[in-house]
Structure 1
Amino acid sequence: MFQRIDKRTVAALISDKNKRMRDVPSFLKRTSDLLKEGYTFPEALFMLLPYHAEKAELWGVRIQQQFNSGSSVADILQQFSIPRHFLLLTKIAEEKGGLADTLQYISEQMRFQEDMRKKFIKLLIYPVFLIAILATVFVLFRNYFLPNMQQIAVSADSQRIASLKLAMVLLHFPDFLIGFLILSILLLFSIIHFIRKKDIADQLKIILKTPVANSFYKLNITRQFSRLLGSLLVSGVSLQHALTILEEQKLSPHLSYIASLLRERVIFGDSLSDAVNILQLFTPKFDEFIRHGEKSGYLGREMLIFSDLLNERIHSMLKICLSAIQPFFFILIAICIVAAYLSMLLPVYDLIEIL
């Protein structure tokens, strides 16, 4: 289908991150639609490449090489910057069935994430623009207005005007704010790097002891685990075999470790709901939901439903967090404006009284 191209050229394409696929969520959605229409995965992929890749010919050669070498769907989709936990879904769907529905689900989740990212950037543009203007005003005040006030104070033999000292502190407020932000980011990255260097068991201990990270981690890991295990159970895999599959996969070390803990308890006779309750690694009431599925005999389907419920909860939380970002920045801007006015007016009032 594609003519032969030098391997170095293909390697250059893959190493150039700016030449990735365009609109990956739409690409996955269209692939899903073609699979439902009866196309094979390679046929759907090669049909859509010209519409989503800047250099479709090079991409086609690369993907054809992967097909020839026996690569899985997950291995091929990994080239398209798809998150690893989604790749795990495709790996399970390829083996157990339901690839079209899985690609549609991944497309919807990636579309939501992309929309949130765009909304986040859009929300930040105006506050960041205002903060940049205010920072310029503060620099001008600090370099021109305040020195003039100090000279007037010197000429009036009033060098000890307290408001001048206060104005100097207020005009350095943006510096303190930016410095605090930089230190917070550096500290956060240092903590993340420190945690990643430890093994999974120690990582879990640290995360579960951190209040905010604890809640978000449990929500996310419960959503992923419920989706993956539910997909396996619905496809007819037994519980122990499903846990073994999750334990042996390499795409998500955390899920692998948690699945090993659960499988160990299930082997020794505990039900899945009891094992989940004992480990305390998942969101509250997850064990009750599993217990209901065990009694009804529809554990797989109910875990998929629970995963969808957690998706909705996470989406709502993200929307709330995004809606709070702009007011937070506007509060900081208001504080900066008040600081600017005080730094300008207080020295003027003091000098008027003295003169």
Structure 2
Amino acid sequence: MIKRKWSLQEQCQFLKRMGELLTRGYPLSEAIESLLYQMPNKKKLELSQCLADLREGYPFYQVLAKLHFNQHLIGYVYFAEQHGGLAAAFQDGSEMMLKRDRDFEKLKKLFVYPLFLIFITAVLFIFVERIILPRFSSLFISMSLKPNFFTKVVSTFGELLPYLTIGILFLFLLLLCYYFFRFRHFSQIGQKKMLVSLPVIGIFFKLFYTHYFSVQISYLLAGGLSVHEALSLFENNDKQPLYKELGRELKHGLRKGDKLEDILISYPFFERELAHIIRHGQRNGKLDQELFFFSRYCLNLLEERTEKMLKTIQPCLYVFIGFLIVSMYLAVLLPMFHLLEGF
């Protein structure tokens, strides 16, 4: 049925409009029918099939799974269908994923242009280091002149470049082998524990998982479910293996008599403040609100740290590329100045 996958932006915009229509009182099927006329022909066929599936009794999250929607968006829809807050969940989920997509696009722009510059610089560098500098070096030796600092920099970097390239390729192959033969065979919880232990990027994974867990639990509690019932819904969520596994483990801990906040502390992919928020929310009887505001805090912090990382990495890349280019030019120009002075 699906020939071309929906882009993440198309998925988010679709759910965002759905949320707006549901807020105005549209039933789910009528909201889809309303959006049907705004879609291109291929999307119309797919949404027509969605309507047919809904009328046959399929839940909306399964319909979106057939369209190969993003797992996190499907998760938002799954939980929304349980607590009844479809409109708010659709809008929040789409907004969160749109922000994530924008951050990813910024990262792509951050790396694509510098990588293009690095490629051009590498070609120029090989030309200078392999063809031009050897001729100047032989001339320097015949004239008993010492190589300047920039010539040494270019020569040293030229000697190290093959080893760096081989090292990067070897590391990439090693990580690839580790993923296929070890990492993907771990449990979902085991995988996430390893991801958050990674330097620099681990904190981003931790904030994302904390945000997602907090906001879904808050919606379910606000819908009148108990903590145990909410975790049962996590356990029955086949579309998100991590939260299915997590719901099962948390329920097992609660049955043993452990407190929810004490269990969550043992999971390193959640912020430690989450346990304090749950404890505080249980004391004042506003656990759903406390979790909702904490999820917003995590999302804002995630955005701030992403912006900070982008502002740190980009100048460093440009400084490195600029230094290489200046070194190459000076490695060529300074010997020419010495020759001119000799005349």
Q: Provide TM-score, normalisation by structure 1.
A: 0.80
Measured after TM superposition, the shift of residue 96 of structure 1 is: 2.0
Say if 1:170 and 1:343, in contact at 8 Å, map to a contact too. no
Question: CA RMSD, aligned part only?
Answer: 3.5
Partner of 2:76: 89
Check 1:20–1:274 CA distance in 2 against 1; reply closer, same or farther (3 A cut).
Answer: closer
| Gap runs ≥5 in structure 1 | 1-10
Offset at residue 100 of structure 1 (A): 0.7
Distance 1:110 1:334, change over 3 A: same
Question: 2:236–2:244: 8 Å Cα contact kept in structure 1?
Answer: yes
Aligned to 1:74: 61
Counterparts of 1:328 and 1:308, CA distance in 2: 31
Alignment of 1:52-71 (within 5 A): 52-53=39-40, 55-71=42-58
Quote the Cα distance in structure 2 between the aligned partners of 1:212 and 1:125: 20
TM-superposed CA distance for 1:333, in Å, is 0.6
Within the candidate set 180, 199, 203, 2:191 is matched to: 203
| Residue 18 of structure 2 corresponds to residue 31 of structure 1 | yes
Match of 1:310 among 298, 303, 319: 298
Which position in structure 2 is the counterpart of 1:337?
325
- Cross-structure match for 1:222: 210
Structure 1 letter corresponding to 2:233 = I
The question of 1:101 aligning with 2:88 is answered yes
For residues 314-347 of structure 1, give each alpha carbon's deviation from its aligned partner in whole angstroms, at most 9, with x where no partner exists: 1111111122231121122123124414543576
Stretches (4+) displaced over 6 A: 160-166, 349-355
Distance 2:232 2:290 in 1: 20
Q: Deviations over 1:104-136 (max 9, x none)?
A: 001211221222233334444543443343233
Further displaced range: 285-294 or 246-255: 246-255
Equivalent residue number for residue 271 of structure 1: 259
1:51 aligns to what SS in structure 2? coil
Q: 1:243 aligns with which of 207, 231, 235?
A: 231
Residue 83 of structure 1, CA deviation: 2.7
CA contact (8 A) 2:235 2:243 kept: yes
In structure 2, C-alpha distance between the alignment counterparts of 1:113 and 1:58, rounded to whole Å = 28
After TM superposition, give the deviation of residue 239 of structure 1 in Å. Answer: 1.4
Residue 257 of structure 1 pairs with residue 245 of structure 2: yes
Aligned to 1:8: none
Indicate conservation of the 8 Å contact 1:149/1:347, yes or no: yes
Shift of 1:267: 1.7
Separation of aligned partners in 2, 1:228 and 1:140: 57
**Percent of aligned pairs sharing the same letter:** 28
Does the 8 A contact of 2:80 with 2:86 survive in 1?
yes
Tell me, yes or no, if the aligned pair for 1:27 and 1:52 is still in contact at 8 Å: no
Quote the offset at 1:285 in angstroms.
Answer: 2.0
Distance 1:170 1:288, change over 3 A: closer
* Closer/same/farther in 2, CA of residues 57 and 29 from structure 1, 3 Å limit: closer
Structure 2 unaligned segments of length 5 or more: list them. Answer: none
SS across alignment from 2:38? helix
Q: Is the 8 A contact 2:196 2:268 kept in 1?
A: no
2:32 counterpart residue number: 45
Separation of aligned partners in 2, 1:63 and 1:172: 60
Higher deviation after alignment, 289-298 or 345-354? 345-354
Question: Which of 120, 125, 134 pairs up with 2:121?
Answer: 134
Q: 1:124 to 1:165 in 2, by over 3 A?
A: closer
Residues 1:187 and 1:351: Cα distance change in structure 2 (over 3 Å):
farther
Alpha-carbon shift at residue 137 of structure 1 (Å): 2.0
Contact 1:226 1:306 in 2 (8 A): yes
Amino acid corresponding to residue 255 of structure 1 in structure 2: Y
* Distance in 1 (alpha carbons) for counterparts of 2:31 and 2:315: 45
Partner of 2:280: 292
The 1-side partners of 2:12 and 2:175 are apart by 30
Q: After TM superposition, give the deviation of residue 298 of structure 1 in Å.
A: 1.5
CA–CA separation in structure 1 for the residues paired with 2:166 and 2:10: 37
Residues 154-169 of structure 1 mapped to structure 2, 5 A cutoff: 156=142, 167-169=154-156
Q: How many residues align?
A: 341
Over 3 Å counting, the alpha-carbon distance change for 1:21 and 1:328 in structure 2 is closer
| Aligned residue type for 1:84 | Q
Aligned in 2, Cα 1:325/1:210: closer, same or farther, shift over 3 Å? closer
- Tell whether the 8 Å contact from 2:137 to 2:147 is kept in structure 1 after alignment: no
TM-score norm. by structure 2 comes to: 0.83
**Aligned 8 A contact 2:207 2:298 in 1:** yes
Question: How many angstroms apart in 1 are the aligned matches of 2:332 and 2:72?
Answer: 54
CA distance in 2, matches of 1:196, 1:280: 19
Deviations 1:233-257 (A, max 9, x none): 1111111121122122122222222
